[in-house]
C-alpha cells in the first residue's frame, strides 16, 4: 500500500496547485507525494521532518485544534490568571475538577503521540534515503531531539507512558503498556544525548534544533528526575546527575548571560538564548501578532488575556534584594510598586507604569497604565470587556518598538531554553548536594545581572526558599512555575490558595491611591493533580492503567 504524505515546507503547509483542467489521471498527484518518493529525496525527507517541529511551543496562541501551552501554563499555576478560560483552565484545573473526561484542549496526549509516530516513521526511513551524509546527520539529530522532547512533555504531565519506538502500521498491536517514569526518563536522556552528538559541530540557523538545546533540555529533565515528586528518597546520585548536566551547558562556548536591557532578552536574538521556536503572524486579522495584543492592557486596546496574580507580584523583592516581608525591606504598602527588584519593572505592567510608545496610543492622555477605578485600563476605560481583573498584565515577551494595532511582525520567538535557567538548575542541584556556597554563587550571578548588588547570605531551608523564589521571579511567564510547584511537591499549598487581585481607588482631588487586596478566584488542588489523568478515550481503547486517585 502506498501512502500519500503531505509535505510541509519550513514550518508551514506547502502544497502545489492543481491545474484546473488536464488529463492527469495517470500521473502522480501534484499536491502530495507518495511514501516511496519521499524516502528517495533528502529534501522531501527534510520537509517531512520540518512538520514535527510543531510539537514545540510557540510565542503565539494556537487557535486550531491543538492548544499551544506556552503562555497557557501561567494561569494553570499560581502565577497567572486567564479571564477568558482558554482551554478550560479556569473551569477545570483552577477549580480542582480535573478528570480523565474533561482535560480537553489542555491535554497533549494525542498531539504528542501524533508527532512521535511521524518521528518514528522518519527515523525508520532516513538511513535509506540517498543524499548528503552531513545533511542526513543534521535532520536525524533534529528529529531525535523532537521525539525526545515530545516524550519529555508527556512524562512531565503523566509520569510513565508507553514508549513507542517504531512506527505503527495497520497491523500493529496498539496496546503498548506504560513504562515506568524512570525507564522513560532514561530513554529521553539517552535520546537527547544522542541528538546532541549528531548535532555537535553543525552551525544551525535561528529556530533550528542545536546540540546545546538538546543538552539544556536534558538538564531540565534530570532536575525533574532528582526532585521530590520523582525522587522521594532524595537519592544524591540523581542530584549529582542534574548538577553535571547543568554545568555541562554552562561551560559551553558561545553562551553568555545577556547583560543588556533585561526586557530585551525576550524580544531580541542574543547570546543567552540556547534554543527558540520562531513564530509567524497568525492571520486572524491584519494586525494580530500574538503576545502584544494578548497581553497589553485594555486601555491600549489589548486583551489583557494573561495577567499576573498578586502572589506573583508579591514574590518580587526590593531593589536591595530583600523580600517585601522582611522587616528592613523598606516596603511601603501605600507605594507598593516603588523601589522593587528591577525585574519587576521589566516583567509586569502595573498601575502607573509607563507602557509602550505614546505615539501608538494617541487616544490616551498618558502612556502610564491606569488600573485604578475609572482609569483607562479599568472596567470603566477603553474596551472595558478586556480589562485585567487582577489589575496587572505581563510585560515580558512584549515588543513595544512597533504598533501592534496597525503593524505586523513575523520574527517572534518562544524561548525553549536559556542560560539563566541553567544557572538556576545548577544552583538547586548543588544546594541539594550540600554545596551551598556554589549554589549562592550562581544565584548571585543571576541577581547581579538583574541589578541587585546585595549578595545572598542565607543557608539551609532559607536558602532553598531563595532558590525557589528566584525561579518564580526570573522564569515567570516562561512555562516553568506549573512544573516547579509539582516536582517540589508543594502544589497542594501554592495551588490551594485563592487567586488575588488588587483593587485601586484614586482620590480625584489629591491623587492619593488606596490599595485593597481581594480574592478574585477560589482555587483547589487535589493530590491526584500532580499528574494529568490518562484521557478516558485512551484508557477505554487500550485498557491502560490510570494515574493514582483518578476515577
| Rounded mean pLDDT for each run of 10 residues along the chain, 551 residues in total | 36 32 39 73 96 89 62 96 93 97 93 96 97 97 98 98 93 88 98 98 96 98 98 98 98 97 96 91 51 91 95 97 95 97 98 95 96 97 97 95 80 93 98 98 97 95 98 98 98 98 97 98 98 96 94 87
- In this structure, the strands spanning 33-34 and 4-5 are antiparallel
Distance (Å, whole) CA 323 – CA 321:
7
Q: Look up the pTM and report it.
A: 0.92
CA–CA separation, 509 and 487 (whole Å)? 50
CB 440 within 8 A of CB 462: no
Tally Cβ neighbours within 10 Å of residue 447: 24
Q: How far apart are CA 198 and CA 137, in angstroms?
A: 6
Inter-CA distances, 493 with 41, 73, 198, Å: 55, 18, 43
User: Cα separation of 509 and 91, whole Å?
Assistant: 41
pLDDT at 282: 55
Q: Is 322 left (phi over 0), alpha (psi -120 to 50) or beta?
A: beta
In the chain, what's the furthest Cα-to-Cα distance? 84
Buried/exposed 372-388: b ≥16 CB within 10 Å, e otherwise: beebbbbeebbbeebbb
The three grid cell numbers given for residue 421, joined into one nine-digit string: 535557567
Q: How far apart are CA 50 and CA 302, in angstroms?
A: 33
- Report the alpha-carbon distance of residue 526 to residue 549 in Å, rounded: 9
Separation CA 164–CA 173 (nearest Å)? 11
How far lies 132's CA from each of 139, 204, 367, 479, in Å? 11, 16, 55, 38
Q: What is the pLDDT of residue 171?
A: 80
**Which residue has cell 548536566?**
245
Q: What is the pLDDT of residue 286?
A: 42
Q: What is the pLDDT of residue 288?
A: 47
Show me where the domains of the chain are located: 282-409
- ∠ Cα 549 550 551 (to 5°): 115
Question: What is the structure's pLDDT at 67?
Answer: 59
Dist. CA 514–CA 512, nearest whole Å: 7
- pLDDT attached to residue 32: 54
Report which of 507, 520, 509, 79 is spatially closest to residue 334, judged by C-alpha positions.
Answer: 507
Three-state SS across 405-432?
CCCCCCCEEEEEEEHHHHHHHHHHHHHH
| Strand locations in 302-452 (E) | 306-308, 348-349, 393-394, 412-418
Q: Which residue has the cell 487586596?
A: 517
> Do 287 and 459 meet the contact criterion of CB atoms below 8 Å apart?
no
Amino acid at each position: 500500500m502506498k501512502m500519500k504524505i503531505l509535505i510541509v515546507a519550513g514550518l508551514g503547509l506547502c502544497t502545489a496547485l492543481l491545474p484546473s483542467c488536464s488529463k492527469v489521471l495517470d500521473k502522480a498527484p501534484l499536491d502530495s507525494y507518495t511514501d516511496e518518493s519521499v524516502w528517495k529525496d533528502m529534501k522531501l525527507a527534510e520537509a517531512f521532518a520540518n512538520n514535527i517541529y510543531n510539537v514545540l511551543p510557540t510565542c503565539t496562541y494556537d487557535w486550531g485544534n491543538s492548544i499551544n501551552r506556552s503562555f497557557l501554563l501561567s494561569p494553570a499555576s499560581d502565577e497567572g490568571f486567564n479571564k477568558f478560560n482558554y482551554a478550560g483552565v479556569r473551569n477545570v484545573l483552577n477549580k480542582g475538577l480535573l478528570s480523565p473526561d474533561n482535560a480537553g484542549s489542555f491535554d497533549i496526549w494525542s498531539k504528542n503521540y501524533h508527532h512521535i509516530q511521524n518521528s518514528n516513521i522518519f527515523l525508520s526511513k532516513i538511513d535509506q534515503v540517498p543524499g548528503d551524509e552531513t545533511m542526513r546527520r543534521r535532520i536525524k539529530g533534529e528529529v531525535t531531539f523532537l521525539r525526545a522532547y515530545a516524550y519529555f512533555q508527556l512524562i512531565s504531565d503523566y509520569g510513565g507512558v508507553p514508549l513507542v519506538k517504531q512506527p505503527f502500521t495497520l497491523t500493529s498491536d496498539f496496546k503498548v503498556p506504560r513504562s515506568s517514569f524512570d525507564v522513560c526518563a532514561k530513554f529521553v536522556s539517552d535520546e537527547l544525548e544522542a541528538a546532541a552528538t549528531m548535532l555537535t559541530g553543525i552551525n544551525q540557523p535561528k529556530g533550528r534544533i542545536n546540540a546545546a538545546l538538546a543538552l539544556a533540555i536534558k538538564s531540565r529533565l534530570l532536575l525533574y528526575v532528582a526532585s521530590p515528586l520523582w525522587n522521594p528518597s532524595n537519592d544524591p546520585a540523581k542530584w549529582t546527575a542534574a548538577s553535571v548536566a547543568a554545568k555541562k551547558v554552562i561551560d559551553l562556548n558561545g553562551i553568555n548571560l545577556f547583560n543588556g536591557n533585561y526586557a530585551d532578552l525576550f524580544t531580541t536574538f542574543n547570546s543567552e538564548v540556547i534554543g527558540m521556536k520562531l513564530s509567524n503572524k497568525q492571520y486572524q486579522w491584519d494586525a494580530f501578532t500574538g503576545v502584544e495584543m494578548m497581553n497589553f492592557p485594555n486601555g491600549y486596546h489589548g486583551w489583557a488575556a494573561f495577567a499576573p496574580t498578586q502572589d506573583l507580584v508579591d514574590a518580587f523583592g526590593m531593589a536591595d534584594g530583600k523580600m517585601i516581608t522582611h522587616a528592613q525591606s523598606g516596603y511601603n504598602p501605600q507605594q507598593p510598586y516603588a523601589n522593587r527588584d528591577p525585574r519587576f519593572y521589566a516583567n509586569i505592567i502595573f498601575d502607573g507604569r509607563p507602557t509602550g510608545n505614546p505615539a501608538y496610543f494617541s487616544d490616551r492622555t498618558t502612556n502610564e497604565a491606569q488600573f485604578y477605578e475609572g482609569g483607562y485600563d479599568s472596567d470603566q476605560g477603553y474596551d472595558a470587556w478586556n480589562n485585567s481583573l487582577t489589575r496587572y498584565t505581563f510585560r515580558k515577551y512584549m515588543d513595544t518598538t512597533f504598533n501592534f494595532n496597525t503593524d505586523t511582525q513575523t520574527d517572534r520567538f518562544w524561548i525553549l531554553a536559556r542560560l539563566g535557567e541553567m544557572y538556576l538548575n545548577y544552583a538547586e542541584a548543588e544546594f541539594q548536594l550540600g554545596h551551598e556556597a556554589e549554589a549562592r554563587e550562581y544565584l548571585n550571578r543571576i541577581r547581579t545581572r538583574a541589578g541587585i548588588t546585595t549578595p545572598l547570605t542565607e543557608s539551609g531551608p532559607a536558602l532553598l526558599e531563595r532558590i525557589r523564589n528566584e525561579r518564580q521571579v526570573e522564569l515567570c511567564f516562561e512555562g516553568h512555575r506549573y512544573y516547579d510547584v509539582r516536582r517540589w511537591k508543594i502544589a497542594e499549598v501554592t495551588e490551594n490558595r485563592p487567586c488575588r487581585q488588587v483593587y485601586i481607588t484614586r482620590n480625584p482631588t489629591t491623587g492619593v491611591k488606596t490599595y485593597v487586596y481581594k480574592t478574585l478566584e477560589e482555587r483547589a488542588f487535589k493530590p491526584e493533580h500532580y499528574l494529568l489523568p490518562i484521557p478516558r478515550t485512551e484508557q477505554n481503547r487500550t485498557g491502560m492503567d490510570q494515574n493514582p486517585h483518578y476515577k
